Structure 1
Amino acid sequence: MAAGGGVLAASLTRTPSWAVRIRGADGEIAGAGILLSPDQVLTCAHVVDRAAARITAEFVGAPGHGVPAVPARVDGDAYVPETRDADGDPSGDVALLRLERPRPVEETVRLHRLSAPNREVRMYGFPYDHNGGIWFRADVVGGCGRDGQLQLSPAGPGELATPGCSGAGVADSLTGEVIGMVLSGQRDQHGNRFSFISPAETIARHLPRLKPYIVGPTAVDERLLPSGDAASEALLDEPFAQRLAAWLRDDGSQVKISVVRHDDAARDATLLRAITLADRELRTPVSVDRASLDPPGTVPSAGGHDLAVHTGGLTAAEIAERIAERMGLWQHPEDPPLDRIRAAKVTLNLVVVGVDEAADPPALLDLLDMLRAGGSRLLLVFRAADDCYRRARDRLLVRPARERRARLVERLREITGPLARTLYERRAAVVQEGARTLDSDMVAAHAALADLLRAQDRDPGHGPDPARYERLADRVAGRLAADVGRLDRLRDRRDELTGRLRSYRVLHQRATQGEEDPAVDALYVRAHGLLRARPCDVRAAEAAVDAYIRRVDGQGGGDAR
């Protein structure tokens, strides 16, 4: 039994008891569902007709050889159809069915709140040709739209969630917990394939009555919940709100550090507003449907953070335990949470308020630095610009930025030095076609290196954008490798042609017993000269060698008998 009742997600070796196959009034499979209580099934709104006289829920994972079928209906007003906002992004598409006859409680499952980034998941649906159900695997790519939905990347070409999978439970591969529900699988006009899910927090916002069936701590600590004071809600530091929203929308910066003093009511209210709006469960319909009414750039993405924790009075170990629980790292409770986090591949977007008010700020900085090094994103809020703030800024912002800049400088030096020399050596050997694009990239790489060297002594926050130069380095390095590979193949082809020309020359001389043939000799001299030229035009040399070989074969000189 799970902590909140029901069972954990079944292993891949058997059909989960909570997996429900749903048939419409026409008897055809319409989709899937999740058995949350003995008489309630969660599914997508588009799977069921709200006015249908007959919906059937079938329990393919029930014990025994039969498949129990139970009539069901939409449970009152627990039906939120899919809608589209002004940007065309979907919202809603959840519904709750009431069974006419209850199922055993041990077949039920609870939805679990977990952080989203980089999770491996699996879904159990009922696509065409697999009416008995089949597992699909995927990785969570990230959030999409304003509703708090998540995009999945199928683990393989054939594992896109197709019709019959809508409403299926999404089980986290690490913990076995069901963390959401499949919404749809789509292929766009360019042939790209996508799957989308609604996580537990988004489902809770659309259907609040389901909160008793959703377990796991919420993403926002109680001390960070808005007070409901109308006066404080009206306070807004707009520039600060824009900076917070930009980070929560992933502006490319891994760590952001801010100071919010206790006596700065507007800044404090702005911080709590951003934390609330970025939470999938706390986000209000107004923030989802009417974001254009807020000041421009102040509304963060739903799911912009995975955990917002107030550290006042807490030890680093207590904070680490909270983070480990949110990341789903409870498999080895005997291990310290720091060790579990260090060993995990999971990352999260973490908001930490009151870093300097923790019970042991230096130990907390150790934890935060470990999270940063592991790839997590951090929004850190201090109450004063004191020594703790300055140490954190140096350790988590300045030093990593300088190290990143130094790595980038070394990489650009490698690209503009040894790698460029390798390319030019190949170009000296054989003619390269279409080199102008790479030449312009190499000029840009030299310019980027010069910019970074000039900015070495500057504060990293005011120097060149490393992300832009990293993308440039990736592009140039990729093209360098591709061009060197093509030139190597041309060089190999040149050497192959040289061997063929030599062989046919010997055959021709044997066949003619050394008798001169000016026409054939002229073809040989041309091919030989093109092959020895530097750089060698391999295409032209290939044509010349082929012409010589055809002439020799035509005279019988290529007959090896």
Structure 2
Amino acid sequence: MASIADNYIPAFRSAIARIFHPNGAVVGVGFLVSGRSQNYILTCAHVVTSALSLPEDIVEAPSHDICLDFPLIAPGQKLKAKVVFWQPVVNNVSTSEPEDIAGLQIEGQLPHEAQPIKLIWANNVWGHPFRIFGFPHGHNDGVWSTGVLRDGQGKGWVQLEDSKVTGYRIEPGFSGAPIWDETLAGVVGMAVAAEKQREDIKTAFMIPVDVLSKAWDEITLPISSNAHTQNSPSRVQQLKIKTLQQRFEVLSSDYEAAYNQLNYTLAASDRNIIQRQINTILQELGRVESELNAI
């Protein structure tokens, strides 16, 4: 049955890719998805043009290699990828056609732990909490952010809101990142843009998975949220699930806090202590996940 923990540790974290400029700067995010014939990396077209120092709205698909790694499972193990699908950015024109989407084919061997992410299509995600991992300026190791999903707008993108007082909001460096829906326990979209006009507005947008899959039919069709939740647990199971999900939420928050703290810690002894804390949290997350999956 579906749960917040379902596939989170083995798939969501392992599917996240970090995309580099040739000078080593991190320019954005991508994520591993299942295709009809093989696995691919999905990201934003503007992340690719940034990685290659090209005009953002270039029409032709770039032919140069893209450099990336999987920072949460194999940091530093860099791979090359080529653009095999291209839906360019459309500037200064209002359109409902899909845009700013790129599909990459990886050259070489994926890290052993890498798994394609679970895509979920949902008709209504209003109020669903989400989490996202990205690389804002100065944070090449990445940070976590959370917020609440809203609804679609004219371009077909879905609005995201940062509802918390502290912590990171979605900003440049999160583009191309998968949006994990806590309610549906799967990825419902890809971060594409953040509000830039007003600093007091903590809003961003995602391209929902139904738009992604319609734009590129090579992507395996997403699971319907109805099918995803059709097996109803018993009352006793619901109580167990609720307790375990609450425990998972607490551990997830502890993990995010420790991971973000690690980015600010310089002393080797302190980093070792924090890393041990992270490892302990991950072990407990795995245990809770196993219990949830067994229900």
Does the alignment reach a TM-score above 0.5?
A: yes
Aligned to 1:148: 156
Whole-angstrom CA distance in 1 between matches of 2:227 and 2:197: 32
Matched residue SS, 1:41 = strand
Aligned 1:156-555 pairs, distance under 5 A = 156-157=164-165, 158-189=167-198, 191-210=200-219, 212=220, 214-217=221-224, 325-326=225-226, 329=229, 333-334=233-234
User: RMSD between aligned alpha carbons?
Assistant: 3.3
The match for 2:102 among 92, 95, 105 is 95
Give the unaligned 5+ runs of structure 2: 50-60, 243-295
Aligned counterpart in structure 2 of residue 110 of structure 1, from 112, 118, 121:
118
In structure 1, which of residues 12, 17, 21 is the aligned counterpart of residue 14 of structure 2?
A: 17
Q: Structure 1's 165 and 86: CA in aligned 2 closer, same or farther, altered over 3 A?
A: closer
Q: Please report how far the alpha carbon of residue 332 of structure 1 lies from its aligned counterpart in structure 2 after TM superposition.
A: 5.3
Aligned residue identity for 1:149: W
- C-alpha change, 1:206 and 1:61, in structure 2 (3 Å) is same
- The SS at the match of 1:201 is helix
Q: CA deviation at 1:111?
A: 1.3
2:131–2:181 CA contact under 8 A, matched in 1: yes
SS of the counterpart of 1:20?
strand
- Rounded Cα–Cα distance in structure 1 between residues aligned with 2:30 and 2:217: 18
Alignment check: 8 A CA contact 2:30 2:42 kept: yes
Identical-pair percentage: 24
Contact 1:20 1:33 in 2 (8 A): yes
Give the deviation of 1:205 after TM superposition.
1.6
1:26 shift after superposition: 3.3
Give, in whole Å, the separation in 1 of the partners of 2:105 and 2:118: 16
Change in 2 beyond 3 A, CA 1:22/1:42: same
Query: Following the alignment from structure 2 to structure 1, what is the Cα–Cα distance between the partners of residues 205 and 227?
Result: 21
- Find the residue that maps to 1:56 and give its secondary structure: strand
Letter in 1 for 2:108: R
Q: 1:32 to 1:190 in 2, by over 3 A?
A: closer
Conserved in 2, the CA contact under 8 Å of 1:15 and 1:61?
Answer: no
**Alpha-carbon separation, structure 2, partners of 1:119 and 1:102:** 36
Assess, with a 3 A threshold, how the Cα gap between structure 1 residues 88 and 201 changes in structure 2: closer, same or farther.
closer
CA distance in 2, matches of 1:88, 1:97: 24
Q: Is the 2:98–2:211 contact (alpha carbons within 8 Å) kept by the matching residues of 1?
A: no
What CA deviation, in whole Å up to 9, does each residue of 1:449-488 have, x standing for no partner? xxxxxxxxxxxxxxxxxxxxxxxxxxxxxxxxxxxxxxxx
- The total of aligned residue pairs comes to 218
- Which structure shows the higher helix fraction? 1
Is residue 2:57 matched to residue 1:58?
A: no
Cα distance between partner residues in 2 of 1:53 and 1:105 = 27
Cα separation, partners in 2 of 1:334 and 1:129, compared to 1, 3 Å: same
TM-score w.r.t. length of structure 2: 0.64
Query: How far did 1:329 drift?
Result: 4.3
Cα distance between partner residues in 1 of 2:143 and 2:231: 26
1:80 and 2:87 matched: yes
Query: Runs ≥4 in structure 1, deviation > 3 angstroms?
Result: 84-91, 327-332
How far the C-alpha of 1:121 sits from its partner, in A, is: 0.8
- State the AA in 2 paired with 1:40: Y
Q: Which has the higher strand share?
A: 2
Q: Partners of 1:105 and 1:97 in 2: how far apart?
A: 19
The CA distance in 2 between the partners of 1:124 and 1:330, in whole Å, is: 29
Secondary structure of 2:13's partner?
A: coil
Unaligned runs of 5+ in 1: 218-324, 344-561
In structure 1, distance between residues paired with 2:190 and 2:149: 13
Q: Deviations over 1:514-544 (max 9, x none)?
A: xxxxxxxxxxxxxxxxxxxxxxxxxxxxxxx
Rg comparison, structure with higher value: 1
Taking the aligned partners of 1:215 and 1:121, their CA distance within structure 2 comes to 18
Structure 1 counterpart of 2:29, which letter? A
The CA distance in 1 between the partners of 2:133 and 2:64, in whole Å, is 27
